[in-house]
Amino acid sequence: MSGGAGPQSAGKFITLEGGEGAGKSTQIRLLSNALERAGQEAVTTREPGGAPGAEIIRSLLVEGAVDRWQPMTEALLHFAARVEHVQATIMPALAAGRWVISDRFSDSTVAYQGYGHDLGQSDMAALHKLVLGEFQPDLTVILDIPVEDGLARAGHRETAEGEGEDRYERMGNDFHSRLRDGFLDIARRNPERCAVLDAAGTPEKVHAEILDLVEIRLGRVLT
């Protein structure tokens, strides 16, 4: 698998990243609605998951004890799920001209396992290269929020994920601080692909900023 989403396919691939409680699900819904209003078919998806095999792996990662896995085992499980996700869902949609919006992608593995679990970003980058080649999103929006605020949001939200999918949320504040620093470092290393937005604002304000990014970075005006 090689090439980025943009040059190799008719569709565009957008990922939303960030720590727990950053508001990714809300922004994905708003962006998808905006694309549909503009006449652009959009596919929303998530990681871990997004394809039948990947959803099975998801339950291994987001449920159970905090110390259920060794960090490298976690990373490998994420990439195993990602192969299924890309091959079964993302690439077919892009090839058909659809825009794909994913709640997390490989930057989350770099941040969670590379920084949060101290595996280092270089090994995660090597795994990405091995599994996905040069394939990357066309645009990555990193929603940044202070750790305490994000965890407070996550603790009160009602989602469709179901009970028990809180394994990462239960990891300590030190982990989440490293995670936040990791996402910000990823953005610094990849300025052409990534943009950091303040997720502490209202959903409407953050949505407007994402629409501006889509226009500036991808050349698509959405109203």
Q: What tens digit of pLDDT does each residue of 8-46 get? A: 457 999 999 998 889 999 999 999 999 999 999 999 999
- Distances, alpha carbon 36 to alpha carbons 21, 55, 139, in Å: 25, 26, 18
Q: What is the value of pTM for the model shown?
A: 0.91
Position 223 in a domain: no
Q: Residue 80 — very low, low, confident or very high, per pLDDT cuts 50/70/90?
A: very high
The residue written with tokens 């490998």 in the block is 76
CA-CA distance, 42 to 25, in Å (whole number)? 15
What local confidence, expressed as pLDDT, does residue 2 receive?
A: 42
- Write the DSSP symbol of residue 63: S
pLDDT at position 64 is 93
Mean predicted lDDT score pLDDT of the chain: 91
Res 142: pLDDT: 98
Q: Is the residue at 87 inside a domain?
A: yes
In a domain, 180, yes or no: yes
CA distance 150 to 200: 9
Q: DSSP character for 15?
A: E
What Cα–Cα distance (Å) separates residue 99 from each residue in 5, 18, 44, 132?
10, 20, 9, 19
Does 10 reside within a domain? yes
CATH code at position 169:
3.40.50.300
Domain count, the chain: 1
Residue 191 has pLDDT above 90, yes or no: yes
Residue 162 has pLDDT above 60, yes or no: no
| Average pLDDT for 81-108 | 98
Domain extent for 195: 5-218
pLDDT of residue 154: 77
Residues 112, 176: Cα–Cα separation, whole Å: 8
DSSP class of residue 153 equals H
Give 219-222's long-range contacts (Cβ < 8 A, gap of 24+): 220/12, 220/38, 220/40, 221/38, 222/34, 222/35, 222/37, 222/38
Q: Does residue 111 form part of some domain?
A: yes
